[in-house]
Amino acid sequence: MIPYPVIERVFRISFGNSQGSCFAIEYDDRQYLITAAHCVKGIRDTDEIQIWRAKEWTPLKVGVVGIDYGKDIAVLAASEQMCFAYGVQLGLRGLCLGQDVFFVGFPFGLSVPSLVPAGAVDNKYPIPIVKKATVAALPMNATPADVVLDGINNRGFSGGPVIFQMRGDTTIENGIVLRRYRVAGIVSGYIMTDEPVQMEGKSLKPTVAENTGLIKVVNISRAMRMIVEKPIGAAISKADSPYAKEDGLRKHRYSEPAPNHWFE
């Protein structure tokens, strides 16, 4: 089960002719939106992105914290807090080759209606789609190390988070097992290859682009470096969610990381 702290911080976005996903993280009592740079190509300070909310596109003013088109990552500062602040952890610590991970977003604009109780601030945001993948490549000699996954990515997942559960990172409260997830990185896209068109067993000159099943993931620490250099995110409230008492996650609403936590 993917918990509230992940589901509620992923949003469907649009900018110009592009659509994709983004997600919120917190640092030093401020909230930021993370996405793939190609989803917001050409964005400038005071521009507006569109957020899918209440079954329609809603404008949201943002500032640009940092953007790297080469690595395909963008960090934005929304003009308002987008979701409740949870104790979601960030970093690759504990991630290993062959481990199962999950990536979250809105492929082809698909989603599920929100199940959040009426009246909650995030009630009108849809629930994203979740898919599983396996860590196929994890460079050990690069800092920060970007990751390659084995899985089938689809258009629209770009900009969404890749999450995993660190072994032993669970707690039990009132008989309920609570799993803590880490955000490892941002979905950049799938690696493509050109395959020849086949007809009656023969290869023709035309080629067609094919999804290799390998997913490029940008290390979340790249986003944190941008945030540390330009900390202009929206001020956040540490107030509990209206349904915190029901989901057994109340004590995980907000947690301050160790100084080096973001770069693990």
Per-residue pLDDT reduced to its tens digit, 4-31: 778 889 999 999 999 999 999 999 889 9
Per-residue pLDDT reduced to its tens digit, 178-196: 667 899 999 999 988 887 8
Note the helical H segments in the chain. Answer: 4-7, 220-229, 244-247
Chain mean pLDDT for the chain:
83
Q: Give residue 59's pLDDT band: very low, low, confident or very high (50, 70, 90).
A: very high
The answer to whether residue 61 is domain-embedded is yes
pLDDT at 113: 79
The answer to whether residue 131 is domain-embedded is yes
Judged by DSSP in three states, 180 sits in strand
Tokens of 200: 């009656």
Q: What percent of the chain has pLDDT over 90?
A: 55
- Domain of 25, in residue numbers: 4-259
Domain count for the chain: 1
The answer to whether residue 101 is domain-embedded is yes
Report the C-alpha dihedral over residues 233, 239, 241, 244, rounded to 10 degrees. Answer: 130
Burial of 76 (0-12, 13-18, 19+ CB in 10 A): buried
Tell whether the model's pLDDT for residue 176 goes beyond 80.
no
Residues 225 and 233: their CA atoms lie apart, in Å, by 14
126 prior amide bond cis, ω within 30? no
Question: pTM, whole model, 2 decimals?
Answer: 0.83
The answer to whether residue 159 is domain-embedded is yes
The answer to whether residue 264 is domain-embedded is no
The answer to whether residue 13 is domain-embedded is yes
Any idea what the CATH number is for the domain that residue 48 is in? 2.40.10.120
